[in-house]
A and B are shown apart, each in its own frame.
Chain A
């Protein structure tokens, strides 16, 4: 078939272009995206842009207020902590640790969850029902409890807390994938592929997966915000990242010790976690409503 066609004159934006158009029509979503990109930038390039080593202790400069305070110093933008470490650098590296590990956790959970969910969705009968029941049990156990048990078995540390959060996130991916796959399996286009003789694997790869990506992106942003909050909560409780690893929750927890003398040690890490989660949520919301608008059209 020749590529020459009259219809090509009219632009046919791909579904993703549609979504992007709908997305950027919301200013808030754009601002959220910008902030999120900033965090992504920190996550990847913290070593290049951070003014100090996050573990460098300048004992001459303990608890210096942030630069905008009356006796602050421009040398330390966000001031220093009780060990004389530059808070700005620590926050940058903290974003790297917290955001980076969250992203990793979500990707692993997504891969595992989608695999199990697809199998469960395509199978039916007893096996599926057993999977359902087990999932119910798993989904009900609070993340913190899973984390506590894993810390009990393996000891505390960032990697162990990542395991816990991955375990806690998997069921949600399984759940959504399963209902999605189930829904799709009933649709005509799958039936026609089945009649064409497509195997289950082919069905999944060529027919279901392309349609599922949007759902996964939306679920992924949701999971990402949960992962960030959980990683920092575990760091805060001293069950996750251990000193001197800069992790936002752990930075907040150490800041609490000098909280009255140096309130910025509480405020700045807290605001960073808050902004990170907020931007993820806003981008997620924006994506979702953009997708909804596109589907409705």
Chain B
């Protein structure tokens, strides 16, 4: 157990190191002055240029520069945005929670809807119900997320006028961003009708969350279904059946556990897809998350922001992936690391 934890912490730090090396290399890859990409400050004259070069040790060897870069990262000095001049740490810490909030809600729906439907479909494999669920999920899986979001806006916001489409909450609510998590911020806010703010925030969430969850739920159904079918064909299920266990007992004792375990690593991959989709959907719903922020940064060629944003998002995703992997390993040490099911 301790060995596993140790191995994973090494793996984690190695990955982080390579990611920061990647983000460091961007300083020289982006078509801008290295100083500018690193600090976000465009030097006005040669003197300032020289001063910045010295301050950030850019005249030294690459190794020293990288070591310096790492220490600045840990110190929380991430540079400022090229465009707005704001500290990147502040901007990212405001944008990241918005994306996490969105993705977490979508993931919740994916699990709560996807796994039961997948189980149901797997247990009734090749029946009409299974066929229906399966066709719906294949169809849903093929919808491009940006088109789906547009269709949702056209239908639910414009045609019926039920749901709003702009951002996380009506901007007339003055909620000071303290934590970045809107629900917590509402609780902390003063002079605001909290109940109204809550319900407004929830209404704002429905469409973006559904757009993201739709596609991932479809994948989840397919993965779960296949896993259940595979497990049902295993000899120990036949053995259990011949022992005379009821199908309920068989399902909860033998099938479910064995079917869900191989799903976990695939779920980690789903998270990557889900976050990509969240980033796209954010731009359509003016959601002030990290995806929207990054896409604006690329439109504005804000290189310092891109460098840091890339590091922040990839670190987050890697962290989640490794955590799921570790969890998987801890509850089921016997399993080969990469053994997983197909769809």
Contact = CB atoms under 8 A, between A and B. Distances in A.
Interface of A: 28, 133-134, 136-137, 139-145, 148-149, 151-153, 155, 175, 178-179, 218, 222, 225, 229, 232-233, 236-239, 249, 252, 256, 259, 263, 266, 270, 273-274, 277-278, 280-282, 285, 288
B26 A149 contact: yes
Contact of B15 (A133, A144, A277): A133
A166 B318 CA distance: 20
Given A278-B142, A288-B342, A252 B313 contact: no
B18 A134 contact: yes
Contacts of B320: 140
B109 interface: no
B306 A140 contact: no
Given A139-B272, A144-B279, A233 B314 contact: no
Interface string B21-51: 0000010011100000000000000000000
B62 interface: no
Contacts of A270: 144, 147, 150-151
Interface string B167-179: 0000000000000
A129 B143 CA distance: 37
Chain B interface, >50% SS class: helix
B269 interface: yes
B294 to A, nearest CB: 6
A120 B104 CA distance: 35
A179 B321 contact: no
Interface of B: 11, 14-15, 18-19, 26, 29-31, 135, 138-139, 141-147, 150-151, 154, 268-269, 272-273, 275-276, 279-280, 283, 291, 294-295, 297-299, 301, 303, 306, 310, 313-314, 317-318, 320-322, 325, 338-339, 342-343
A77 to B, nearest CB: 21
Given A140-B317, A148-B298, A278-B139, 10 more contacts: A139-B321, A148-B297, A152-B306, A153-B30, A233-B146, A233-B280, A249-B146, A274-B147, A277-B143, A278-B142
B280 A237 contact: yes
A167 to B, nearest CB: 12
Report which residue of A134, A237, A239, A266 has the largest number of chain B beta carbons within 10 angstroms of its beta carbon: A237
Contact of B138 (A229, A259, A281): A281
Given A273-B144, A274-B142, A274-B147, A140 B11 contact: no
A144 B14 CA distance: 23
Nearest to A154: B31
B22 to A, nearest CB: 9
Contact of A274 (B144, B269, B310): B144
B282 to A, nearest CB: 11
Nearest to A148: B298
B179 to A, nearest CB: 24
A153 B145 CA distance: 26
A140 B318 contact: yes
Contacts of B318: 136-137, 140-141
A169 B314 CA distance: 16
Contacts of B280: 144, 233, 236-237
B14 A142 contact: no
Contacts of A178: 338
9 residue pairs, one from A and one from B, having the closest CB atoms: A278-B142, A270-B147, A277-B142, A142-B276, A137-B15, A140-B318, A140-B321, A140-B317, A144-B276
Nearest to A282: B138
Contact of A153 (B29, B144, B342): B29
A190 B30 CA distance: 47
Contacts of B18: 134, 137
A143 B252 CA distance: 37
A136 B11 contact: yes
A149 to B, nearest CB: 6
Given A145-B313, A256-B150, A139 B269 contact: yes
Report which residue of A134, A139, A280 has the largest number of chain B beta carbons within 10 angstroms of its beta carbon: A139
Contacts of A149: 26, 306, 310
Contact of B19 (A28, A137, A274): A137
A91 B321 CA distance: 38
A153 B25 CA distance: 11
A281 B147 contact: no
